[in-house]
Each structure stands twice: as structure tokens, then as C-alpha cells.
Amino acid sequence: MEMQQGEAGKQMPGCSGSVYRLEVVTPLAKKINCLDVKRIAEICIAEIPTLIGAKLASLYILDETSDILHLEKNNHPFLINNIVSLNQNPPSPMIVAVRSKELLVIRDMDNPQSAVVNNVSRGFAKNYQTQSCIIAPLICHGHVVGVLNISDKENGEKFTEEDIAIVELFRQLVGASIGNIHLFEKTQRQARTDGLTGMLNHRAFYEALETELRRCRRYGGKVSIIMADIDGLKTINDQHGHRAGDMAIKQIARRLSACIRQIDMAARYGGDEFSIILPNTSLSDATVVAERMVQMVCGTPMVWENQKISLSLSAGVGEYDPNTDPMDVTKTTDQALYAAKQAGKGRVCVFEPQHTEG
């Protein structure tokens, strides 16, 4: 391919521009193959534009659940949008590119014959020095995971076919790496969370508890724990089926989560048992939270196949100092939970630690 000369075609002595670019592209491709989004963003903003002689670049990451692009990194000397909704109307050129999933090369933004830039929103057009840009949706397994925007080629030139080919290559590589990051993060979340409720699982609960107790040892304070158990889940399973039992677990999990703060940590400890870590919370305050949970669960029945099914919850509460072993925390609080169930269910019992005189 014949390359047009300019900043994009800088050559090393004794090397053709294409050979020089190949020498740069190969190590860049290796650097992009990682699980560090900040490192990838730095390459997208600093190194890829330099390779094709462009001044400005921005990288957006797509949140598929909300259809919103979030700005990850840019080098613009002026403000640009931190978030961009794909539902924006009229759409920006970036949104047009995302919807098409195709690399979009605009050679002249002011050209009225360009179908792409007609009926689009261009709120920041006056900030750019040239009329050409490349908008590269980042693709992984056929899905858009982000967008790389490159503009203002040096010396006011237009982007060459070789520039476009390089961006096409990197948008696939960057897309694959970002997709791998999303997959890795999803796997990590699944390893720590319960599939039915979305709460922390048993293992993650103990990791969080150990972390909280270490924090207490360093900075002082205490931590309270609530252990809660669904009353009569077996009866629901036997009378209405296990799908109804699963729905009961999910609904109760949501009600428990509605009773706690963002800093609190809720876990599905076992089949029908939940655990809640309440940092810097006194025993009396934790008891109030537990009572609120029991009331919220018992106060509203679950509707299943047009039938109302009563729900009930028992809870045990304990408060612990930094020197407590995590296993002892759950064991003693579980004793309080057992006492609550023995006392008639649908109630709260409190574990009061015995203080010995020194």
C-alpha cells in the first residue's frame, strides 16, 4: 500500500514508512493484550493517535445495561461529555457509528453531501481544528464495548487509507481486550456472589468479615453481625415446589438489602440463611436493624401463582471486638439465631458476650 507522507509517515533512517509503522504496531498490539483498562486507555490516547499523526483522541467504555458511554480517558484541551446516552436524539456521529458497529471516517464534517453528518448533533464542532475524524466502535464477539475517537490530524491533512487500516486493526485488538476485562470482572463477581440472590456468597462473607475485623484492629471500633434464617422454607418447597422456595429466598434477600446501608455487607450464608456485617454499629443499633428486617419479611406475604404465601424470618444479633476470631463471630451469633427459632420464630435474639473481671 502506498503511504501519503506527513506526520503519519515519519520514517526512521534507512526504513520505509510502512516498515517503521510495522515495527511500532507489533509491540503496541502486545501491550494492548492485557487486563488493565488504564494501560489500554493510555495506549489509545497517547500512542495510537501518534502512530497516525493525530492530535486528539477520546476513549469511551459502553455500559450495556444502561446504554450509556462513559468517558475513560481523553487528551482534549477543552471539555467533552463524560457520559453519552445511545438514546440521544438527534444522535451524534459517535452514536451513529456505535449503532452501525462500523468504523466511521468523516473526511469533511461541513460537507452537506455527507449522509452521515446530516441530522446529527455536533455540539463541540467549533473546538476542532480540522473537519475530518475517525470514529472507531470497539468490537468484541459482535458487541460494541466502547468507542475510540481520533481527530485533528497534524498539518490539517486528511486521514489516509493506511491510517484507517491501522485504526481498523487496533479497534479490533482494543475491543477484544476490553471484552476480556469485562469477562474477567464478571467471572470474579460470580466467584464472590450467590447466583440466586446476587448477595455475597459464603466464602466472600468470611473474606469481608476478616477484612472488617482487621480494620477494627487497626483503627478501633467494633462490628455487629446479624444472622437470619427463613422460617418454614421446607414447607414452602413441599407445598408449592422449589421454584416457589427460590422466589421466597429472592424476595427475602431484596427485603433484607432494603434495610441496610451501603457500607453494610449482606451474604447468603447457606440455603435459607443470611448474614449481614454492620461496620461501626452498636449492638442496640444492630438489633433495631434486625427487628426491622423481621417485620419487613413477616409483614407482607409473597404472591405465588395467585396464592398468598406467608413469610417469616428469625434473626440473631451479636457485637464483636477486633480480637474476635471470624469463626467465633458466626458461631455465637448463630447460637442467638437458634434461640430465636426455639422461642417461636419470627423474632430477634441477641448474643450478649460475657465480660470477665481482670
Residue 277 grid cell:
456485617
* Tens digits of residue pLDDT in 231-268: 999 999 999 999 999 999 999 999 999 999 999 999 99
Q: What number of helices (H) and strands (E) belong to the chain?
A: 10, 13
* Mean pLDDT across 27-45: 95
pLDDT score at 6: 37
Architecture of domain 202-351: 2-Layer Sandwich (3.30)
* Tens digits of residue pLDDT in 133-175: 999 999 999 999 999 999 999 888 889 999 999 999 999 999 9
pLDDT score at 15: 46
pLDDT score at 113: 45
Closest CA to 231 of 346, 335, 336: 346
Q: What is the longest distance spanned by two Cα atoms in the chain?
A: 89
Q: Does residue 49 register a pLDDT over 50?
A: yes
- Full-model pTM: 0.65
Distance between CA atoms of residues 330 and 338, nearest Å: 12
Is residue 290 within 8 A of residue 308, CB to CB? The reply is no
Three-state secondary structure of 42-85: HHHHHHHHHHCCEEEEEEEEEECCCCEEEEEEECCCCCCCCEEE
Distance between CA atoms of residues 139 and 305, nearest Å: 42
Would you state the torsion angle of the CA atoms of residues 137, 138, 143, 146, taken in this order, to the nearest 10 degrees? Answer: -80
Q: How confident is the model at residue 322 (pLDDT cuts 50, 70, 90)?
A: confident
Domain residue extents for the chain: 7-191, 202-351
Region 7-191: CATH code? 3.30.450.40
pLDDT score at 3: 34
* Mean pLDDT across 214-218: 89
Q: How many Cβ atoms sit within 10 Å of the Cβ of residue 288?
A: 15
